Amino acid sequence: MVSVGCKVDLPDEDHSPVPTSNSPSKFTNHDNQKIIEEPKLGMEFSSDESAYKFYVSCGKKFGFNVRKHHRTTNAKGFVTRATFCCSKEGYRKKDKWREKVKYRQPVTRVGCEAHMTCLLQKNGKFKIISFNAKHNHELIRTPMKHMLKINRGMSTAQKLHADDAEKSAIPLKATVELMSREVGGREHLGFLAKDYRNYIHE
């Protein structure tokens, strides 16, 4: 269990924070409202993937999607530095062809600077050397968190159910509705209709 920050369980991983002179800060939204204590600079992880999973867990709990922003590797191909960021980091490049279409995709990147950067240490662990918890957009609140991409995914049982429904020519909408009832509602389903559709047609 992480003793500071997101306080999430990630078994068999070292997330022990290293003592630091930095005072605890908070995850904040664009109104500078304090939400919850964040991980401190100096926290260490056994690998860059472990650090990524930790940041994803933060995203799941606090309501923002996460993506891998940048990685640096050495001559042997080993990762030495990794930055993970909010999915709303940066801005989409303008596409002159998209300006001519009637339907325009919603804006998904708004220049958010929230991120976590880890650097490989001599002891073989990755230490947080840079962390920005401030988002310039609203975080997703309960009960909408289940719609976040990082919170969605079909289980093996659900995929088998989908396969059987497809073989029986049962409509997608009816299948998703039935599966939703079985788990007590769409918010407990774990995926959206488009995730189901993508699985069937992949």
| Domain boundary assignment for the chain | 26-140, 156-201
Q: Which of 91, 110, 114, 88 is nearest to 28 (CA)?
A: 114
pLDDT more than 90, % of the chain? 27
The pLDDT of residue 190 is 74
Q: Average pLDDT in the 169-173 region?
A: 87
The pLDDT of residue 79 is 96
Q: What 3-state DSSP class applies to 81?
A: strand
The pLDDT of residue 56 is 87
- Answer with the residue of higher pLDDT: 83 or 32: 83
The pLDDT of residue 78 is 94
Q: Is the pLDDT of residue 50 over 70?
A: yes
Q: Is the pLDDT of residue 86 over 80?
A: yes
Q: Average pLDDT in the 91-102 region?
A: 65
- Give the pLDDT band of residue 123 (cuts 50, 70, 90): very high
The pLDDT of residue 177 is 87
0.75 cut: is pTM over it?
no
d(CA 167, CA 30): 48
The b-or-e profile of 68-102 (16+ CB within 10 A means b, else e) is ebeeeeeeeeeeebbbbbbbbbeeeeeeeeeeeee
Range from 28-37, 109-118, 181-190 carrying the lowest mean pLDDT: 28-37
Q: Is the pLDDT of residue 202 over 50?
A: yes
Summary mean pLDDT of the chain: 76
pLDDT per residue over 25-42, tens digit each?
A: 455 544 444 444 467 899
The pLDDT of residue 151 is 64
**DSSP H or E run through 195:** helix 193-201
The pLDDT of residue 150 is 65
